Amino acid sequence: MGTGFYNSRSKIALRLLAHGKKPAGPDLVLDLLDQALAFRRKLGLAKKTNAYRLVHAEGDGLPGLILDRLGPWIVLELAAKGYEPFLEAMGERLLKEFDGARLVLRINREAAKTEGFSIRDTQVRAEGLLEEYGISYHFTPGQGHKTGFFCDQRDNRLLLRRQAQGMRVLDLCCHAGGFALNAAKGGAKQVEAFDLDEDAVALAKANAKTNRLPVDVEQADAFEICRSQKLSHTDFLILDPPKWIHSKEEREEGLRRYRDLNRQAFAGLPIGAQVLSCSCSGLLDEGGFLRVLREAAAQAKREIRILRCTGASPDHPVSLACPETRYLKAIWMEIRS
């Protein structure tokens, strides 16, 4: 039927690499890696940014493997033990493609509990600086959320920049402040950003200072902000919470949190305000997320219309056989009444 990695300890017992009778080995893995790199060259992303995804797991035929280029660093996030014998060969191939790059290995936290890895994370203390559409971002490779930076929202950040002029923008769960910074660069009248994580707040403040952009960053809980009067003076609200559904067991609690956050947001915003509501939970598809938003609007007794539905940037290709690879949902809405 095909070739893949089998691991009886894993939650995903078989990760298929190829159909047919292709032999398992470094040649198969390196060929798939070469195809992924060739696809990114075709996208021409290096002309716009030095931060983008090089391998998107099943989307590139390499399940359990995430690879991001972040400035001079290349961060590999591993969720499948089967790649361990091929890591050195993969590293050599990457250094051939990106001369002088620094390689970092990160073990997926969830997979670390079941996969039985015999290797450990690369410990990195150095801070890096990357560029995206004229904005600089501080990051620590392999540390914090994901690989150290959220490349997936790149096009959505730029889309917000193009429509933020003259608006009062509120960015909740702001992390590095990507949406807030782009709103300010796009000529927003006022930009405020909040995150509950102290490290995220410090990072967003550093990014605003580096780029000399007028963004007010504070520590606060998104639910508390949505219950405050602040929303009544907001023209554009961004809701980009962390991943709230990691497993089937967390699904109901995660759905409740998405519903409650959006319900409170819908209830507090004035007529005509716009909302960008996001979910990065792979176990919640777009249809399910839209149902949550519909329920939230009904509970808030507000009429909402959808302006567009977007997702991750094209360096995050989606496999039809694995719908979870379309994990990021970004729903752009307007409060009608």
Q: Show pLDDT as tens, one digit a residue, over the chain (337 residues).
A: 899 999 999 888 999 999 988 887 889 999 999 999 999 999 999 989 999 999 999 999 999 999 999 999 999 999 999 999 999 999 999 999 999 999 999 998 888 889 999 888 887 778 889 999 999 999 988 877 778 899 999 999 999 999 999 999 999 999 999 999 999 999 999 999 999 999 999 999 999 999 999 999 999 999 999 999 999 999 999 999 999 998 899 999 999 999 999 999 999 999 999 999 999 999 999 999 999 999 999 999 999 999 999 999 999 999 999 999 999 999 999 999 9
Distance of CA 316 to the CA centre of its chain: 10
User: Do 302 and 187 fall into the same domain?
Assistant: yes
Residue 212 counted as domain residue: yes
User: Do 164 and 272 fall into the same domain?
Assistant: yes
The C-alpha angle with vertex 325 and arms to 320 and 327, in degrees rounded to 5, equals: 125
User: Looking at residue 327, which CATH number applies to its domain?
Assistant: 3.40.50.150
pTM of the model: 0.93
The 3-state DSSP class for residue 289 equals: helix
DSSP conformation class of 152: T
CA dist., res. 328 & res. 312, Å (int): 6
Give the total number of structural domains in the chain.
2
Q: Are 251 and 283 in contact (CB under 8 A)?
A: yes
Query: Which amino acid makes up residue 254?
Result: G
Residue 271 counted as domain residue: yes
- Domain end residue (candidates: 97, 112, 127): 112
CB atoms within 10 A of CB 287: 9
Closest CA to 195 of 151, 156, 157, 242: 242
User: Do 107 and 166 fall into the same domain?
Assistant: no
Q: Which domain holds residue 193?
A: 152-335
Residue 138 counted as domain residue: no
Burial class (CB in 10 A: 0-12, 13-18, 19+), 301: exposed
